[in-house]
Structure 1
Amino acid sequence: MNQSTYRERRRRVLEAISPGVLVLPSAPVAIRNNDVEHEYRQDSDFFYLSGFDEQESVLVLSSEREQPYHLFVRKRDPEREVWDGPRAGVDGAKADFGADQAYEISTLEAELPKLLETERVYY
């Protein structure tokens, strides 16, 4: 699917939640045994709105902001990518997945309150 499909889906959700903000975490990793994970499957709602299929990420849609679509993602790590596959990183989240703003997931605790401080309705 191209990004225009996801953009339209986000637009409809933003209309439905206005005024408000949606915070949607990615699906957790499922451990198969001590050192093996099941193949990752993204949360259906998360994927429906973003097309982003990486673990350890958070999507934020804010109907009251000029740039409503924010993604928190894992940073690029060439060493881990050899074993786990490529990561989009912050730049890829914006370029490939249409995020208005993207942040490293490690900054979630500091950045999320800033995105929520003017909001009154949370989903």
Structure 2
Amino acid sequence: MRVVTNLMNVAPEAIADIYKTRWRIETFFRWIKQNLSVPVLFGTTENAVFNQIFAAWIAYVLLKWLYSKTSEGRVFNKLSFITFQRQWLKANLPIDWRIAVVLKTIENYKGYVCLILDNQHS
């Protein structure tokens, strides 16, 4: 591999490390664009970029968690995570998946619902 550079006082190993680091950054941003649905960063400040990436990351983690909880033990109608995500965003999930999402939500928030009902009657 040959690399052309104007950094004459830097060792070749250091230049190779710089390019490896840059390549890791590029692959990280490619993953963000593909998986977090962030094709364009709307802000130009550091805070705006971090807020947009963190919001997308939180949505991704929640969808991944919901997918894993509702797909446990399913033999029929298997969906990939990407298909699940697209169908979720379109509000077009198959009926058995919608039922599983509702049941999982009720199961996870049973204690909270009882607590809220008790507080309303107090």
Please state which band the TM-score falls in when normalised by the shorter chain.
under 0.3
Instruction: State the structure with more CA Rg.
Output: 2
Instruction: Give the TM-score of the pair, scaled to structure 1.
Output: 0.22
- Of structures 1 and 2, the one scoring higher in RCO (CA 8 A, sep 6+) is 1
